[in-house]
């Protein structure tokens, strides 16, 4: 039983350390994964292009996707890790303020470079 507890504790420590190191500057500990195409939801004509710094792994893409897809204005999202771009597809005639977008990214540990709207 003690061996099982030690083994489970070691696994938990390993995964916790891996997730913590994911966002440290210059210390990314695993291969980069690029998400191409639509990550989640639907594509619409009302969209926002965002250039973001700091997204380096699939976990980064998934966390951004999860946060934005919870918003009622968001219909879909595309996260492109290779180009450090996020496209947010919004419901028709809805919007999200630039300050809100920047705050969401900054709270997640990323830096917004530019926000461009399709209109």
Q: Note the pLDDT of residue 40.
A: 80
Give the model confidence (pLDDT) of 76-94 as tens digits.
999 999 999 999 999 999 9
Q: Note the pLDDT of residue 5.
A: 58
Q: Note the pLDDT of residue 1.
A: 72
43's tokens: 């594509």
Please state, in angstroms and rounded to a whole number, the distance separating the CA atoms of residues 3 and 77.
44
92's tokens: 């028709």
Q: Where are the beta strands (DSSP E) in the chain?
A: 40-41, 47-53, 74-80, 85-90, 111-117
Q: Where are the domains of the chain?
A: 1-27, 31-117
- pTM, entire model: 0.68
Protein fold of 31-117: Alpha-Beta Plaits (3.30.70)
Give the model confidence (pLDDT) of 86-119 as tens digits.
999 999 999 999 999 999 999 999 999 999 998 5
Please state, in angstroms and rounded to a whole number, the distance separating the CA atoms of residues 51 and 75.
19
Give SS3 for 7: helix
């Amino acid at each position: 039983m003690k061996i099982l507890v030690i083994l489970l504790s070691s696994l938990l420590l390993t995964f916790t350390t891996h997730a913590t190191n994911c966002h440290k500057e210059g210390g990314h500990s695993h291969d980069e994964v690029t998400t191409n195409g639509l990550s989640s939801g639907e594509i619409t004509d009302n969209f926002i292009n965002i250039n973001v710094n700091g997204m380096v792994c699939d976990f980064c893409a998934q966390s951004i996707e999860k946060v934005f897809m919870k918003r009622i204005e968001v219909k879909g999202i595309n996260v492109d890790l290779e180009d450090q771009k996020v496209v947010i597809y919004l419901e028709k005639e809805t919007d999200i303020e630039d300050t809100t977008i920047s705050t969401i990214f900054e709270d997640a540990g990323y830096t917004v470079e530019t926000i461009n709207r399709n209109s």
